[in-house]
Amino acid sequence: MPVAPEPQGEDLAAWSSALRAQFPIVAGNPGLAYLDSAATAQKPQAVLDVVQEYLTTSNANAGRGTYPWANRTTSLIEETRGRVKAFLDDPDPDTSTVHFVSGTTEGLRRVALDWLVRELREGDEIIVPFADHEANASPWLEAVGALARQGTRVTVLEMPYQSASRDYDTERLAELVSPRTRFVAVTHVHHVYGADMNVHRVRRAVGDDVVLCMDAAQSVGHLPVSMTALDVDFAVFSGHKALALPGSGVVWSRGKRGAAFAPLGWSGTPNTVGIASLGAALDWLDRAGPERIERWTVRLAARLTDGLRTLAPYEVLGCQLSLAEQSSVQQRHGIVTFRHRDIDAADLGFILFSHGFMVRADGLCQGRGGETRSSVRVSLHAYSSREEVDRLLEVLAGLA
Ligand code: PLP
């Protein structure tokens, strides 16, 4: 958690600017604005240093060999497990588990195929958020398909959403839940709308016995994520979105409802250097302060949103009541997705890059219940600057 006193007001801009200098790819390209951190985040020098140091001083396989480099690598993996639990504010690290996977997509699939398939019984029901990321929809269908091939029928129900806010509709969810409901998949922060999906309300709606699996791809590294505060059973995230190397994802499981998670089969050599980078990234995030990163990125997102609302051709997607920085309707994070009335999203992406802005411009990997048209997504991190947002607004205004 934050170690330095929180700066207020303009100091937050100075804080971000000092952090920005720690990201070589950002600092080394002043003419470019990387505004695609929801796709993957840039890496601070401290993470690059740990990668270099690990590979040049201790690189070996883990859990095999008795010489010092191998022992160091084995310890590094165990220590990083503990590091992940502490970072997630795990209330009971002695009973929870952390497994390293390549990322959120693989993690959710492992929960589906290695855990859910073994837990579900004939006649059980699961609830799937089809308007979230595709990675949080297709694995559950794969699991149900595998069970069907074994002769076990499981019913898939669609997570209900509120039509205006796109938040989960927890009243209708509570009506859907029955004694047959065993499992509900949820998302912490939506990758298109940047909205906090109020997972604590989902727990209240489904009761105490249902297993909740949370896709934390867009929250870990961007805001404080507490397993003490959120009563979910699984939290899955991608290291590369949290400043670590690609291939360093996590499945955290509480082990309170049903069997603790363990991947099936022989896993082979872990991504040792990726895991080393994850430990370094979590250390960096703790020093920077996830709460401060959240406040900065929300502030920039609100600035961009407020600017876009003054420009007639743009439509910002998501809850229109929650766009202000201090909204109590539905907290939004550092993601702003929009469309231009007349310019196709892909074309707008190319135009923006011609001005040096790197944004996402396509269908955004939505599940089958999500947006059907492409859009442009701007996603921010600690190293994003107010100047970048203001310059972007100037260019967008020029296209209005
Ligand atoms: N879930 C959400 C909410 C995401 O935003 C993403 C990636 O954008 C994923 C899952 C998939 O993550 P990865 O590609 O790292 O597996």
* Ligand 1 close to Cβ of residue 37 (< 6 A): no
Q: 68: Cβ–Cβ under 8 A, 6 or more apart, which residues? A: 58
Query: Of 3.90.190.20, 3.40.930.10, 3.40.640.10, 3.30.460.80, which CATH number belongs to 49-287?
Result: 3.40.640.10
Answer whether 219 contacts ligand 1 (Cβ < 6 A). no
Q: Which sign, positive or negative, has the C-alpha torsion 247, 248, 249, 253?
A: positive
* In the chain, domain spans: 12-43+289-398, 49-287
How does DSSP assign 144-188, residue by residue?
A: HHHHHHTT---EEEEPPB-TTT-SB-HHHHHHH--TTEEEEEEES
- 379 within ligand 1 shell (Cβ under 6 A): no
pLDDT at residue 63, as a whole number: 85
Give the ligand 1 atom nearest the CA of 135. Answer: 10
Query: Which protein residue has the closest C-alpha to ligand 1 atom 7?
Result: 39
Nearest-CA residue for ligand 1 atom 6 is 217
23, β-bridge pairs: none
Maximum pairwise Cα distance, the chain: 66
Please report the atom of ligand 1 found closest to the CA of residue 132: 3
pTM score: 0.95
Buried b (16+ CB within 10 A) or exposed e, 21-37: ebbeebeeeeeebbbbb
Q: What is the pLDDT of residue 168?
A: 95
218 lines ligand 1 (CB under 6 A): yes
* First vs last C-alpha separation in the chain: 42
DSSP 28-55: T-TT-EE-BTTT-----HHHHHHHHHHH
Q: Looking at ligand 1, which residue's alpha carbon is closest to its atom 4? A: 217
Look-up: residue for tokens 């999500």?
370
**Does residue 388 have its Cβ closer than 6 Å to ligand 1?**
no
Q: How far away, in angstroms, is 14 Cα from ligand 1 center?
A: 30
- What is the pLDDT, as a whole number, of residue 330? 60
Ligand 1 mean position, distance from CA 101 (Å):
13
Show the CA angle centred on residue 287, arms to residues 282 and 292, nearest 5°. Answer: 100
What atom of ligand 1 comes closest to residue 104's alpha carbon? 16
Nearest to 273 by CA among 239, 237, 242: 239
Q: Is the CB of 366 under 6 A from ligand 1?
A: no
| Nearest alpha carbon to residue 235 among 58, 370, 98 | 98
From ligand 1's centre to the CA of 134, what distance in Å? 8
Tokens 């906090």 map to which residue? Answer: 196
**How many A from CA of 131 to the centre of ligand 1?**
14
Gap from CA of 189 to ligand 1 centroid (Å): 11
Nearest-atom index, ligand 1, CA of 105: 16
Contacts for 330 with CB less than 8 Å, ≥ 6 apart: 165, 167, 195, 196, 198, 319, 321, 322
Cβ atoms of 39 and 45 within 8 Å: the answer is no
Ligand 1 touching residue 133 (CB < 6 A): yes
Distance in Å, CA 392 to ligand 1 centroid: 25
Q: Which two tokens stand for residue 89?
A: 């504010």
Distance of CA 44 from the midpoint of ligand 1 (Å):
21
Query: What angle, 0 to 180 degrees and rounded to 10, lies between the N-to-C axes of helices 386-398 and 345-354?
Result: 120
Length of the chain: 400
Name 51's Cβ contacts closer than 8 Å, sequence gap at least 6.
Answer: 245, 273, 276, 277, 280
Q: For residues 230 and 240, what is the distance between their CA atoms, to the nearest angstrom?
A: 23
215 Cβ closer than 6 Å to some ligand 1 atom: yes
Is the CB of residue 104 below 6 angstroms from any atom belonging to ligand 1?
yes
Report helix, strand or coil for 375. Answer: strand
181-187 vs 97-101, strand pairing mode: unpaired
Calpha distance 31→37 (Å, rounded):
17
249-253 and 234-237 strand pairing = antiparallel
The pLDDT tens digits along the chain (400 residues) read 233 444 455 489 999 999 999 999 999 999 999 999 999 999 999 999 999 999 999 999 998 889 999 999 999 999 999 999 999 999 999 999 999 999 999 999 999 999 999 999 999 999 999 999 999 999 999 999 999 999 999 999 999 999 888 899 999 999 999 999 999 999 999 999 999 999 999 999 999 999 999 999 999 999 999 999 999 999 999 999 999 999 999 999 998 887 788 888 888 899 999 999 999 999 999 999 999 999 999 999 999 998 998 999 999 998 655 555 555 556 889 999 999 999 999 999 999 999 999 999 988 888 888 888 899 999 999 999 999 999 999 999 999 8
Q: Torsions phi, psi of 291, nearest 5?
A: -65, -40
Using the mean position of ligand 1's atoms as its centre, give its distance from the Cα of residue 151 in Å: 31
CA atoms within 13 A on the CB side of 185: 31
Residue nearest to atom 14 of ligand 1 (CA): 105
Cβ neighbours, 10 Å, residue 20: 18
- Asked whether 187 lines ligand 1 (CB < 6 A), one says yes
Pick from 138, 187, 218, 271 the residue to mutate for probing ligand 1's pocket: most ligand atoms within 8 Å of its CB. 218
CATH code at 12-43+289-398: 3.90.1150.10
